[in-house]
Amino acid sequence: MLASEVPATIKERRSPRNDFSFRDEFGQWNLGAQRPELLDLYNTRVHLGEDMYVFPIPNWTELDVWQYIAREKPELPPIYFAHTCQVIPRNGLLVPLTDLTLARKGETVETREVCFRNVDDISCAFPIASDTATVEAIIARTALTQITGRGATLMDDQTSEESMEKRKKERYF
């Protein structure tokens, strides 16, 4: 078939870069085996001042993310690994002592070995007590834990169901 004979639908579908590019078990690309590109079905038109947030891995678990990190070996900030930090035990969480998160009257400041499971806004995401110093140790801990990173470390999840929705409306993320 000559290029001029290719149906318009195939020409339109074939772009310089696919968002998803299916390959067979031999790593070969085949036009006929490609999944449909559905991104144009979404209404992505935005007006001046509006934003569109895209979450590329919404169905990944914390364990999925760490296994991916173990495989790909990206450089990570040291905050994910065990380090010494001054914290304030509060409502079952460890609040790091910072200019934004100060000890309240009657609270004590402790020095603990901690790591962060989530890197987020310091006013709501806190560390856990941990001596995990490697990706492999984090994977082992994550595989055994019964509580999600969000549930273990986000103050919003501890206060009310509406807290995260409120942050969304405030354009927090």
Q: Which two tokens stand for residue 112?
A: 């603990």
In a domain, residue 138? The reply is yes
Place of tokens 């696919």: 18
Cα 87 from Cα 36, distance rounded (Å): 50
Tokens 């173990």, residue located: 70
Whether residue 20 lies inside any domain: the answer is: no
Residue 18 lies in a domain: no
12 in any annotated domain: no
**CA angle at residue 113 from 107 to 115, to 5 degrees?**
100
In a domain, 67, yes or no: yes
Whether 58 is in a domain gets the answer: yes
Q: What is the pLDDT of residue 48?
A: 86
pLDDT score, position 27: 75
For the chain, what is the domain count?
Answer: 1
Does 17 reside within a domain?
Answer: no
| Domain, as residue range, for 106 | 49-169
Within-domain flag for 42: no
Closest CA relative to residue 91, chosen from 104, 72, 75: 104
Q: What is the pLDDT along the chain (173 residues), one digit of tens a residue?
A: 444 444 444 334 433 445 566 777 777 777 777 777 666 677 777 788 887 777 777 778 889 999 999 999 999 999 999 999 999 999 888 999 999 889 999 999 999 999 999 887 777 788 999 999 999 999 999 999 877 766 666 665 555 556 556 655 555 54
Cα separation, 60 vs 69, in Å, equals: 13
23: three-class secondary structure by DSSP: strand
